[in-house]
Amino acid sequence: MKLHQRKFTEIKILLKEKLGEKIRTEEKYGTEYLEIDGSKVWMSADDKELIVGYGFSHTHFTDDDNLYEGIIQFFDLLTNPVKITDYIKGNTIFKTVVEIEYLNAQPLNIGETGLLFYPYWKKTKTEISLILPILTKKDIEKEVNVIIN
């Protein structure tokens, strides 16, 4: 078992302990998936990498390059507000920006999704949603430090 797969398993055990039945896992075609009911936060691990996502936005993390950044980003998604900005023309959301909001720090843009074809001639409206944290940092701080170190 590779390092990112071991870390995925450790995170899964921690979340099942803290969130219980809200955690759903599934394995298909050599890839293990983890989702949280009522949330758009997800994570997966295959034989090459760990993937951390929120809705359609996701980032790939490898053992050799940036695995610990991925683990931290996943826990940041769980313990910080997530700001979703939808850009709308007519009735079409043509761009969505997902950011992690930090207290006393700049937000971290974790992804943008968009459409190629949309009614570009219509006026642009912006809708901002703020999703509250799933867990508090205090609830998982010790366990996260063990997983990271």
85-138 pLDDT, tens digit per residue, is: 999 999 999 999 999 999 988 999 999 999 999 999 999 999 999 999 999 999
Instruction: Provide the pLDDT for residue 140.
Output: 94
Q: How far apart are CA 58 and CA 125, in angstroms?
A: 25
H helices of 30-136, in order, are 67-79
Instruction: Provide the pLDDT for residue 27.
Output: 95
Statement: residue 1 has pLDDT above 90: no
Statement: residue 47 has pLDDT above 90: yes
Percentage, residues of the chain above pLDDT 70 = 100
Query: Could you tell me how many helices (H) and strands (E) the chain has, helices first?
Result: 3, 9
Domain boundaries, the chain: 1-80+135-149, 81-132
Picking from 117, 114, 115, 119, the residue whose alpha carbon sits closest to that of residue 91 is 119
Whether the CB-CB separation of 89 and 95 falls below 8 Å is answered with no
- 20 burial (CB, 10 Å; 0-12 / 13-18 / 19+) is exposed
Segment 11-23 shows an average pLDDT of: 96
Q: Does domain 1-80+135-149 have CATH number 3.30.2440?
A: yes
Q: How far apart are CA 108 and CA 77, in angstroms?
A: 10
Segment 19-46 shows an average pLDDT of: 96
Whether the CB-CB separation of 98 and 57 falls below 8 Å is answered with yes
